[in-house]
Structures are given as C-alpha cells and as structure tokens.
Structure 1
Amino acid sequence: MWYLGCNGFVLKAEDTTVFIDPYLGTGDPPRTIRMVPVPFDPADVEQADAVLATHEHTDHVHGPSQAPILESTDATFYAPDDGLAVARDEENWTDEWDVSDDQLAEVAAGDTFEVGAFTVHVEPAHDPDATHPVSYVVEYDGRTFFHGGDTKPSDEFARVGEEYDVDLGVLAFGTVGNIPDKETREPKRTRWYNDENQAVEAASDLQFDRFLPSHWDMWKGLTADPTALHDHVRSFEYPRRLEIAEIGDRVDL
C-alpha cells in the first residue's frame, strides 16, 4: 500500500487496486490550506477496481479527485448514503464526468463485499462531525488492514478488535488549532482528529499490531508530530508497533 497524504491510501494485491479516501485538492484557502504536495493527477490513473470513501466530507468525497479515476477505469465508488448524496446531487458526477450511476454503490456498517482479491467489511465509525461515517476492514490472504476515516474512539471498537486480527490500522491524528469558521471566517478553536490519548485508546481497543497515523500532515494549523505517539503507546499491549509514513511512502503487509 501507499500513503497519499491526508487520509488517502492505495492498496494493491495481485491484479486488484483499491483507493481509500484519495483527496487531490488543495483545500479551501484561507480556511483549509494543504500542507503536502498533490501526489498525482487522477486523470493519469489507469488501473483501479474500487474507490472507498469513509464519509461525506470534502477531503473524503471529492469529484475532481475521484470521478476521473472512475471515468478512466470503470471502478466502483463505495460510500455511505450521505457520501453518495455528495457525488450524485451536490457534485453531479454522472453529468460532469463520464461516470454511470451503477458505478456508485451505497454501503453501511455490517456490509461485506468483494473487490477482486480483497474482502471488504464495513464497520462503524465515530466521527461527530459526519453523519453516517464508516470504517473499512480489508482482508487479503490472511492479512488485515483497518482504515477508520476520521473516527475517534468508539464503543464498537472493542468488538471489532476481537473480531478481526488487524495487522495494520490507520487512524486520523492531529492537533487543536484556530481555523476560520466556514460561514463567518472568524478563527474558531477546532478539533477534527484524535489527539495522542484518543488515538492510542482507539488503536488499543482495535488491537492493532501496527498503528499508522494519518492526516497529521494535511491542514495548516492542525498538523502534528506523529513521533510523539511513541511515548503514548509504550505502556499498552496494543498497538504493538508504531509505523510512521509520509506522503508517497510504501508500506507492505
């Protein structure tokens, strides 16, 4: 797999390619300002079987980032209901790009589906800023990957941790910052992602063998130092190891 910055990942196994939350926009300056490079032009993608979105926010469902991938590869876009509403109603993917409605598939917690070599389980997520967020558990050849989107700790995670043997898990990590309000543009104290203690609580409940923090690199004012998590995970059984990746890095399972 490759880390795309923000919360984006590409997973590859055999002849199957799956994108999760790829975001190739620059934000909404001056409110949100991207702090890492845009890794590629989505129109250049030649192989993809699916694009998975965890929830409806712009850096997770974004027509200019994702619709060109569907257009050039005939991949299927999987998202919870409000994520599909963005694609269908707000951004009109089927009108603005050569994307058919049958490429847009709704998912909800409890679903399981196959994408080529991967088995994808849809599990709950707890993101108070989203409407119906989900997390994804992706299995391949005895290996298991968890992507929580922007989730914070959840009462469901102890069950998920018992149900799956998660080899590598991703959780969003960041600081609290003053970010301009969407309507007034006045600075507002903002917490979008897990702090150190929340991240370790969730990773511990989910019983990650390896924990890879994401999103810490993305927005000006909300960036963080993921190496600070070393001290926080030290006294817990899980996660067993902290894995740090920067944009473009490849991680193997």
Structure 2
Amino acid sequence: MKITYHGHSVLSLIMNDGQKLLFDPFITGNSLTDLTPEKVQTDWILVTHGHSDHIGDMLPIAKRNDATIISIVEICNFAEKNGVNKTHGMNIGGSFDFPFGQVTMVHAQHSSGYEVEGQMLYMGEAAGFILQAEGKTIYHAGDTSYFGDMAFLGENFDIDLAFLPIGDNFTMGPHDAVIAAKLLKAKQVVPIHYNTFPVINQDPEAFITLLPKNIGKVMHVGETIEL
C-alpha cells in the first residue's frame, strides 16, 4: 500500500488492488494541504470524529465519488440525512472486514460535535482507527489525549505505523505522544495534527528526537511512503 500525508490529520491510501482510502478529509480551510476537494478521488472515507477540521469535505467528496463513509454511527446518520448514499456505521471496539482489509474502531479521548446553522450537533464518540491490510497494521489515532489503554492496543496489535497527534491544546502534545508511542510499541511513528493553527504550532523534528532512534518519521505534506 502507498500512504500519503496531506497536512493536519489527512491521509490517503492506495491499496495494491487500486482501492483508495481517505482519512479525515479536512481540505477546505486547511492552509497546509496539497489537495483540492474537487479533484480528490476515493472509494472509502474514514472519519475519526465530528469536528469540522476532520469531517471537512466529507459530504461533497462522498457524493461526487459515490464513496462509502466509515465512521461512528452518529456521523454516518448525519451523512445519510445530508444525501450520502453509502455509509458503514461502527462503534468503539468493533471490527469489520471490508474489501480492502479489516478496520477496528478504537477509543480516543476527545469530544465530538459539529455546528450546523448555529446549532451544535452531537456526533457520537471520538475514535481512532486500526487498519489491518496487506500484512500491515496502521493506527490513525484521530484527536486524542494520552490514555493508559493505549497499552492494550500495543499488546493486541502489531502496529507497523502509528499516526499520532502532537499539536497540544486540543490533543496530546509531544511529551505525551512519546509516552503513547512507547505503550503502542509501534515500529514507526508519524506526527500529525500540528501547525495548522497558531495554537497547535509544534516542531515535529524536535518530537522525533524524543523517540527511540529510527522510530519517528516526519512526513511532509504530499510525501508518500510505501509499506
């Protein structure tokens, strides 16, 4: 599989059979991204939680691509009420075998709400995703603080690559993300959710130096790695 980082928490994956996945499609309003909403092509959209900087362009991208949204049930219900034809609702602790691989929805310690016409809608619990596909295991933590049950994830999943937020203020910062990485036992860790707004400015290279040697990797916007 090929994994590309697009700024903030946005990832795109191309599987060996050509299926395309998109995580947390915050494009419009994301000054760091290299994507244009109208040009995005994807088959599946995975959304960790209901904040606008993660739902982002979920609705128009799903409609234009006839893509399936995978998320907590409340977000899927919201998408269906807003004209999306294909959704797959999940909840914390559940796994499902999709054509591209198995997805497990795991806990994230965060809030989740989306404002529509001045009203804040409840969008279910915040979550992270563990993707097991093509012999690899990838963890997208979404927005979360450090929490002790990350040790459970490290014990039960052989994580090849973990995407962890380091921005602080809204999520864990670099120090707590280092502790999280230790519990997760991930072979490689990539920082996400930083520098999009002034309040979450961080130095990703400094974060990497806090990790064990050869564990951390800074992915620049538009950079692709292959697993």
Please say whether Structure 1 and Structure 2 have the same fold, judged by a TM-score greater than 0.5.
yes
Q: Do 1:137 and 1:145's aligned partners in 2 also have CA atoms closer than 8 Å?
A: yes
Could you list the per-position Cα deviations for residues 164-207 of structure 1 after superposition, in whole angstroms to 9, with x for gaps in the alignment?
Answer: 110100011114xxxxxxxxxxxxxxx11221211011111111
Match of residue 115 from structure 2 = none
Aligned pairs (5 A) from 1:181-196 = 191-196=169-174
Match of residue 153 from structure 2 = 160
Match of residue 177 from structure 2 = 199
Aligned-residue CA RMSD in angstroms? 1.9
1:22 aligns with 2:22: no
Aligned pairs (5 A) from 1:63-74 = 65-74=57-66
User: Which blocks of at least 5 consecutive residues in structure 1 are unaligned?
Assistant: 27-33, 176-190
Match of residue 211 from structure 2 = 233
Tell which deviates more after alignment, 130-139 or 5-14: 130-139
Cα 1:105–1:141 change in 2 (3 A) is closer
Q: Do 1:25 and 1:59's aligned partners in 2 also have CA atoms closer than 8 Å?
A: no
Amino acid at match of 2:15: A
Match of residue 120 from structure 2 = none
Q: Do 1:49 and 1:116's aligned partners in 2 also have CA atoms closer than 8 Å?
A: no
- Number of residue pairs matched? 213
Could you list the per-position Cα deviations for residues 148-179 of structure 1 after superposition, in whole angstroms to 9, with x for gaps in the alignment?
Answer: 0011112221111111110100011114xxxx
SS of aligned partner of 2:198: coil
Amino acid at match of 1:16: Q
Q: Do 1:49 and 1:115's aligned partners in 2 also have CA atoms closer than 8 Å?
A: no
- Of the three residues 151, 156, 168, the one matched with 2:144 is 151
Q: In the TM superposition, what is the alpha-carbon distance from 1:83 to its structure 2 partner?
A: 2.8
Aligned pairs (5 A) from 1:33-182 = 34-36=30-32, 38-46=33-41, 48-62=42-56, 65-84=57-76, 86-87=78-79, 93-94=82-83, 99-100=84-85, 103-127=86-110, 129-130=111-112, 132-175=125-168
Q: Do 1:166 and 1:207's aligned partners in 2 also have CA atoms closer than 8 Å?
A: yes
When Rg is computed on C-alpha atoms for both structures, the one with the higher figure is: 1
Match of residue 10 from structure 2 = 8
Amino acid at match of 2:221: I
Amino acid at match of 1:22: P
Match of residue 184 from structure 1 = none
Could you list the per-position Cα deviations for residues 119-158 of structure 1 after superposition, in whole angstroms to 9, with x for gaps in the alignment?
Answer: 211111112x335111111111211110000111122211
Q: In the TM superposition, what is the alpha-carbon distance from 1:86 to its structure 2 partner?
A: 4.7
The separation in 1 between residues aligned to 2:36 and 2:207, in whole angstroms, is: 32
The separation in 2 between residues aligned to 1:40 and 1:230, in whole angstroms, is: 26
Q: Do 1:61 and 1:86's aligned partners in 2 also have CA atoms closer than 8 Å?
A: no
Q: In the TM superposition, what is the alpha-carbon distance from 1:244 to its structure 2 partner?
A: 0.3
User: % of aligned pairs identical?
Assistant: 24
SS of aligned partner of 1:119: strand
The separation in 2 between residues aligned to 1:157 and 1:231, in whole angstroms, is: 21
Cα 1:248–1:163 change in 2 (3 A) is same
The separation in 1 between residues aligned to 2:101 and 2:195, in whole angstroms, is: 28
SS of aligned partner of 2:151: helix
Cα 1:217–1:115 change in 2 (3 A) is farther
Could you list the per-position Cα deviations for residues 203-237 of structure 1 after superposition, in whole angstroms to 9, with x for gaps in the alignment?
Answer: 11111110000011311232110111133224xxx
TM-score under structure 2 normalisation? Answer: 0.86
User: Which blocks of at least 5 consecutive residues in structure 2 are unaligned?
Assistant: 113-123
SS of aligned partner of 2:106: strand
1:242 aligns with 2:207: no
Q: In the TM superposition, what is the alpha-carbon distance from 1:117 to its structure 2 partner?
A: 2.4
